[in-house]
A and B are shown apart, each in its own frame.
Chain A
């Protein structure tokens, strides 16, 4: 999927762990891992809202659109 989620980068910048963020956002650790590892097929707006609230960022800080070729390069 050409949409990538830079959750790990923002988490490092804010100094917050996955467990802590999962508790604050109110989703399971498994679901947050799916999001962090770019395995998610869809994200609910209320989840995105909670993430932005807890990480004090904009949706654009978390989501990035990369065309397929660039995505492949990014994965490499």
Chain B
């Protein structure tokens, strides 16, 4: 399989990333409209659920409660407001990824801009993980009293930050520096007469 150049894997991934960029952008506009409507609505929608779903790798457990679970309006407001920066960060990462894949398609992997784009992706991943951890923490804070009341036999952890995501973000930052040094070596080679 050809990895670099036209009609290569990089080229196909670039098409996918372009498509994802358009979809995420449409999703962002939809989310902004929805949040605006939600925040500006004079009569707030009633927020209730008949149970909770617990999702793990390969398993989804749905627990039905006897009465409806009343979930506060502030929970949804903060979650929706945090969704916008998260979508923006995903857009930013896809946008930077597009530049890298484009240079791979043009068979120029050691483009001087690529280390900067890779570093930005690293920062983007770390920021995404931090914001999503904050969103999960807030969700846990709001939901824990409700769930403890309805399901007293259930033992659970309200907040667990995604350390794997932070690890990969940091790893990408290190790789960007390795790539920068590679780019410098290529420049040295090009300007050796």
- Residues of A at the B interface (CB closer than 8 Å) are 27, 31-32, 34-35, 39-44, 47
Taking the closest CB of chain A, its distance from the CB of B180, in whole angstroms, is: 16
Residues of A within 8 A of B74 (CB): none
Which residues from chain B contact A34 at a C-beta distance below 8 Å? 191, 193
Question: When A and B form their complex, which 4 residue pairs have the shortest distance between CB atoms, in order from nearest?
Answer: A41-B191, A42-B192, A31-B193, A35-B193
| A42–B189 alpha-carbon span in the complex (Å) | 8
> Within the assembled complex, what's the spacing in Å between the Cα atoms of A34 and B188?
12
User: How long is the Cα–Cα vector from A35 to B188 in the complex, in angstroms?
Assistant: 13
Tell me what chain B mostly uses at the interface: helix, strand, loop, or mixed.
mixed
- Chain B residues in the interface with A (C-beta under 8 A): 187-188, 191-193
23 contacts between A and B (CB under 8 A): A27-B193, A31-B193, A32-B193, A34-B191, A34-B193, A35-B193, A39-B191, A40-B191, A40-B192, A40-B193, A41-B187, A41-B188, A41-B191, A41-B192, A42-B188, A42-B191, A42-B192, A42-B193, A43-B192, A43-B193, A44-B192, A44-B193, A47-B193
CA gap between A11 and B192 in the complex, in Å: 20
List 7 additional A-B contacts (Cβ < 8 Å) besides A27-B193, A43-B193: A32-B193, A35-B193, A40-B191, A41-B187, A42-B188, A42-B193, A43-B192
Query: B193: which A residues are within 8 A, CB to CB?
Result: 27, 31-32, 34-35, 40, 42-44, 47
Cα–Cα distance between A42 and B191 once the two chains are bound (Å)? 7
User: CB-nearest residue of chain B relative to A39?
Assistant: B191
Give Cα A39 to B191, complex, Å.
7
* Across-interface contacts of A35 in B (CB, < 8 A): 193
Bound Cα distance A32, B191 (Å): 11
**In the complex, A15→B192 CA distance in Å?**
25
